[in-house]
């Protein structure tokens, strides 16, 4: 598996507990120990519900 940068859509599916996405992120975490996201994705996810 290659290192990847997770986008907002992928994290949204993860938070919604979409099984395929959760499984892939779990496998990624087992291999690398952390996920990579951009500053933009971090901002978008961290401001959800704070409008």
For residue 16, what are its two tokens? Answer: 């919604």
How many distinct structural domains can be found in the chain?
Answer: 1
Residue 47: partners with Cβ closer than 8 Å, 6 or more residues away:
none
Residue 17 CB neighbours (<10 A): 8
pLDDT of residue 40: 93
Residue 10 lies in a domain: yes
Residue 15 has pLDDT above 80, yes or no: yes
Q: For residue 18, is it within any domain?
A: yes
pLDDT of residue 47: 82
**Structural domain range at position 41:** 5-46
- Asked if residue 19 is part of any domain, the answer here is yes
Predicted structure pTM score: 0.80
Phi, psi (5° rounding) for residue 31?
-80, -45
- Find, among 44, 36, 47, 50, the residue nearest to 9 by Cα: 44
Q: What are the tens digits of pLDDT across the range 16-40?
A: 999 999 999 999 999 999 999 999 9
């Amino acid at each position: 598996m290659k290192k990847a940068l997770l986008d907002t859509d992928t994290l949204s599916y993860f938070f919604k507990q979409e099984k395929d996405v959760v499984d892939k992120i779990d496998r990624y975490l087992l291999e690398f120990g952390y996920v990579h996201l951009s500053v933009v994705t971090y901002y978008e996810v961290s401001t959800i519900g704070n409008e």
